[in-house]
Structure 1
């Protein structure tokens, strides 16, 4: 039995080496913050090796000029950079070597043969090649080294911060979760190919799109402008994705269409129609129209759609009370189902963890009494658990979850803070503290959203009621080293002068930040959004840089929940209304209304 693989010893204090200081090599060495920083900005020292003195100088210059801006998003002090002419010097103490030499297979074979000799015995050896599998580079590599070798391909950071990992056919399995976690530390989004492939996951997707686009042009069916315009409408604006789109069309229909192409073009059916027939159609898995699902598992619908959970703050009851709040369940078309919890002390924020099938919510308590609390329970209303007991926080408002890190984020309005803790309430951290001697509404923290892939969290400071002084801020998920909640330097005000922003939601795929605003008309009592750039900040210098009002005429707007899978947004207001609209704000409909209700937080299952 072979020994269990162990990570490189003391890797945090050892360098990452990049062989090749060309354009891609320099980007890998520097772009390790969210959407831009891969190793140096994640705090690792970096060495680059290139035979050209000029390329070495250019590589170091690129790192020195850019690493600090990238490191704003990692919360790490940037690592150092050094350049070498000799491979052995560059990799002497490295824990990871990324080969980015020219795409010549003989050169890559010789490079890995040399690395097998001169790199440390526990060093991970990776190729950034997209043209060659690492198995093609092993000709001169001894068997003992092959388990430490893999492909590790980046897609031109900082615009695209995806990294794909793929085996050489011998790679030890433990390397993949280890490198995935290191990549996340560096704010890159890792994808792991399940088996060795000519071309990575995206390369193969792009190859098919590219091939068919050229065929369309060659057959004079369309022109480049029309192809690109249609792509933007369908896949960028419409956010259509290949597998979900096939499930939506129906896998039986997909198979029928593909059969026609197969016949007309003389193609093989083995990996299309035959694959679908054997693995899906024969088992009744036709997609969204099937209770057995399709490429994706079946969507668990309730009644006529998803379940909608909503908080009633209790202030519109007769008589009104500080402890008459409720958690209610509705269908997607607004039919009341049941009361899950009663006697809540002004509930405000609500979120659901689908994995554990638990809901989390905040109770504000009596504002200013420091008696706010956070609770969780099963979705059927059983097994209530106190996450944060009364007496530790003031007036907790919106709440959101980091489902990967298993963290609860919430704002404390009168406490003027943003907090984070574990799902069980452990490790309560103060992330933002605006506490001053004369704090006022301008320092109140209300809405909260987390964009894990962008490395940011966002919060609203609503300002005085209807005051036009509302702001939206962001900061890095990782607090900068040596700084605290009151002194951290990565806090940025990304929007100001808003009527009264309340709850937040972020769509990380489309990089869109949404918020409700309960301020005065014409701009308040509205649903709004703004486009973010690859750094998680609003775009600049274009029409998309301005906030967009999607819908108006809400009645004291509060709750907000995106349902991107179904193309909907759900909203609540203190007027007792629940709304649903499309992701662009169109087709808004009031699915429930009751003057004796005052709704705050909302979640969709």
Structure 2
């Protein structure tokens, strides 16, 4: 039977109440203040209840001093914070009450009994406890109220904005999607435990890691410095994720290794090997090597993004400049996986990443980091498709500002443009044989370097046509962008600066950026981030059988497929399925048909600025 639960009446205009307890000291006081700040940043007025006058004053002061910085992530006009000693005054009109009182179970039982009596009938009650399940707090609560109680465990905002939601065993299921959306509005990252569990999700993971780390130390296998260093390299820098890694290793291999530990340590196989055998291995679900998938669905499936649209599994670069705390090293490689509504961070800490592509036979991804524009600190890297085994192919100090990057799997080479380097390069998959293909001037010459008409940005290669193509964008939104091509093989006796096979295919473009070629139809596509109405667009032009145009084309000689992008950058064709995917610096990922029709926004986030994109 469908649930009769409805969201709290007029909740947008009602306060959130947070209950602290000064007697516990500074830790609870800080948590109470930060929870209050989270909800105030989402536009709600917040009422802080605490028996300590000092804690009440500190709580209000914290919100007043910090809510503006929290609100940078929500984009909302912050609400106000008030403090109360009297419980009824604090909760009488609240739509949500979060208790953060001391971890004493009888105190929590009595608190929820009092809240049951004093709050409106539609008010949602939540516990921030990490030690107790909310079902342990229901002794004096009415049956009707039990359906509106849950755990909402926050960690340590604003550094960590994760919140875990968990049922009390009676909570109506309709509350969870409602609270997930409210949590997202408050710029937190909500995760829902599917059933009651002591320790929720993360604390159980941490408990296992903690136990094994202590066991390693106790047995003299390693020392703290080495454990922390290895963890940093593999899980923080390397971006390894436990379930994805098990799928990549193979669930049969995981079970084999676990069986060895079971035999050696006398462990139970019930929740490890037996679980894998019954739910995955017996069905042939071995992980990424299996067409049936593993812990994750098969990679051939599509992802539901924003709950409505579908798209292939993809990797997208976030340059990092729209992050809540932007920096020159806040770029990330993101994966949108089957069944996921939010991206998984594969690699973080990147210096303005711009171009990305994948070599499907080897499963390696390649990407460019621009570094600081104008400095010779750009770099090219590769890694496994899950972000592990990162290798430096072209180290900082050799190239300037590498932009779009494209893989030629047949020759096992990568091509990339170097914007302020005024060049186009290629190298082998291991970074060897770095070859300068196009040189538009001397980047050490200030006049050359500041002449943006020389800047190379996008690049793509068409092995069947024997050509590679690149864009020279010209001044920002200046209608002086151009697209060139040259032969893959440099003419004998000629250099990157003197070669005579360079052809200008298009000119007078608003600001051409990234390129792709469909070699089956000899069609060249590109994104343009120039001025509207003709820029911020996706475009195409037909090439002849030799990969050229009859003459240099100008505006009106090519087809604008779709417009109204927000600083268009990334581009990837999926000709097999008749789709094109694009990104922009406005934090959007788009999909359209090959003719530009049926354009959809697959994903949007104001705190991301997307550049390169590739399909897995």
Q: TM-score per shorter chain, which class?
A: 0.5 to 0.7
| Per-residue CA distance 1:467-509 (angstroms, 9 max, x = gap) | xxxxxx5387xxxxxxxxxxxxxxx99669xxxxxxx875573
Alignment partner of 1:595 out of 457, 460, 467: 467
* Contact residue 373 and residue 400 of structure 2 kept, 8 A: no
1:404 and 2:249 are equivalent in the alignment? no
* Contact residue 164 and residue 190 of structure 1 kept, 8 A: yes
Query: Partners in 1 of 2:373 and 2:110 — Cα distance?
Result: 69
Query: Partners in 1 of 2:98 and 2:417 — Cα distance?
Result: 53
SS at structure 1 position matched to 2:467? coil
1:50 and 2:50 are equivalent in the alignment? yes
SS at structure 2 position matched to 1:145? helix
1:604 and 2:614 are equivalent in the alignment? yes
Query: Partners in 2 of 1:194 and 1:2 — Cα distance?
Result: 19
Which residue number corresponds to residue 595 of structure 2? none
Which residue number corresponds to residue 197 of structure 1? 197
Which residue number corresponds to residue 72 of structure 1? 72
**1:318-397 to 2 correspondences below 5 Å:** 355=303
Query: Partners in 1 of 2:39 and 2:433 — Cα distance?
Result: 45
**1:358-507 to 2 correspondences below 5 Å:** 403-404=305-306, 474=322, 507=334
Alignment partner of 2:353 out of 506, 514, 536: 514
Which residue number corresponds to residue 106 of structure 2? 106
**1:123-162 to 2 correspondences below 5 Å:** 123-162=123-162
Alpha-carbon spacing, 1:581–1:592, altered in 2? closer, same or farther (3 Å): farther
Which residue number corresponds to residue 235 of structure 1? 235
Which residue number corresponds to residue 250 of structure 2? 250
The alpha-carbon deviation at position 73 of structure 1 amounts to 2.3
The alpha-carbon deviation at position 518 of structure 1 amounts to 8.6
Which residue number corresponds to residue 568 of structure 2? none
Which residue number corresponds to residue 214 of structure 2? 214
* Contact residue 92 and residue 120 of structure 2 kept, 8 A: yes
The alpha-carbon deviation at position 560 of structure 1 amounts to 5.6
Alpha-carbon spacing, 1:405–1:280, altered in 2? closer, same or farther (3 Å): closer
Alpha-carbon spacing, 1:16–1:242, altered in 2? closer, same or farther (3 Å): same
Alpha-carbon spacing, 1:264–1:183, altered in 2? closer, same or farther (3 Å): same
Query: Partners in 1 of 2:199 and 2:281 — Cα distance?
Result: 28
SS at structure 2 position matched to 1:190? strand
1:18 and 2:28 are equivalent in the alignment? no
SS at structure 1 position matched to 2:73? coil
**More moved, 287-296 vs 38-47:** 287-296
The alpha-carbon deviation at position 595 of structure 1 amounts to 3.4
TM-score w.r.t. structure 2 length?
Answer: 0.57
Alpha-carbon spacing, 1:41–1:250, altered in 2? closer, same or farther (3 Å): same
* Contact residue 374 and residue 401 of structure 2 kept, 8 A: no
Alpha-carbon spacing, 1:143–1:158, altered in 2? closer, same or farther (3 Å): same
Query: Partners in 2 of 1:16 and 1:118 — Cα distance?
Result: 14
TM-score w.r.t. structure 1 length?
Answer: 0.58
The alpha-carbon deviation at position 551 of structure 1 amounts to 5.9
* Contact residue 252 and residue 281 of structure 2 kept, 8 A: yes
The alpha-carbon deviation at position 264 of structure 1 amounts to 2.0
Greater relative CO (CA pairs within 8 A, separation 6+): 1
The alpha-carbon deviation at position 223 of structure 1 amounts to 1.3
The alpha-carbon deviation at position 4 of structure 1 amounts to 2.1
Alpha-carbon spacing, 1:300–1:46, altered in 2? closer, same or farther (3 Å): same
1:186 and 2:186 are equivalent in the alignment? yes
Which residue number corresponds to residue 559 of structure 1? 404
* Contact residue 42 and residue 185 of structure 2 kept, 8 A: yes
Query: Partners in 2 of 1:287 and 1:588 — Cα distance?
Result: 36
Alpha-carbon spacing, 1:27–1:549, altered in 2? closer, same or farther (3 Å): farther
Which residue number corresponds to residue 168 of structure 1? 168
Alpha-carbon spacing, 1:187–1:287, altered in 2? closer, same or farther (3 Å): same
1:291 and 2:163 are equivalent in the alignment? no
Which residue number corresponds to residue 375 of structure 1? none
Which residue number corresponds to residue 488 of structure 1? none
* Contact residue 376 and residue 396 of structure 2 kept, 8 A: no
Query: Partners in 1 of 2:92 and 2:414 — Cα distance?
Result: 56
SS at structure 1 position matched to 2:48? strand
* Contact residue 127 and residue 151 of structure 1 kept, 8 A: yes
Which residue number corresponds to residue 316 of structure 1? none
1:60 and 2:84 are equivalent in the alignment? no
* Contact residue 103 and residue 131 of structure 2 kept, 8 A: yes
The alpha-carbon deviation at position 289 of structure 1 amounts to 2.3
Alpha-carbon spacing, 1:91–1:297, altered in 2? closer, same or farther (3 Å): same
Alpha-carbon spacing, 1:104–1:579, altered in 2? closer, same or farther (3 Å): farther
| Per-residue CA distance 1:281-315 (angstroms, 9 max, x = gap) | 111111222222211122239xxxxxxxxxxxxxx
Query: Partners in 1 of 2:160 and 2:281 — Cα distance?
Result: 36
Query: Structure 1, unaligned stretches of length 5 or more?
Result: 302-353, 357-402, 408-422, 424-448, 452-456, 459-472, 477-491, 497-503, 530-547, 563-568
The alpha-carbon deviation at position 521 of structure 1 amounts to 9.9
| Per-residue CA distance 1:413-435 (angstroms, 9 max, x = gap) | xxxxxxxxxx9xxxxxxxxxxxx
Alignment size in residue pairs: 399
| Per-residue CA distance 1:509-532 (angstroms, 9 max, x = gap) | 335442368999984694589xxx
Alpha-carbon spacing, 1:588–1:215, altered in 2? closer, same or farther (3 Å): farther
Query: Partners in 1 of 2:398 and 2:289 — Cα distance?
Result: 36
SS at structure 2 position matched to 1:103? coil
Query: Partners in 1 of 2:206 and 2:406 — Cα distance?
Result: 33
Query: Partners in 2 of 1:269 and 1:450 — Cα distance?
Result: 40
**More moved, 254-263 vs 188-197:** 254-263
SS at structure 2 position matched to 1:170? coil
SS at structure 1 position matched to 2:18? strand
Query: Partners in 2 of 1:558 and 1:157 — Cα distance?
Result: 35
* Contact residue 18 and residue 97 of structure 1 kept, 8 A: yes
The alpha-carbon deviation at position 122 of structure 1 amounts to 0.7
1:278 and 2:180 are equivalent in the alignment? no
Query: Partners in 2 of 1:520 and 1:157 — Cα distance?
Result: 30
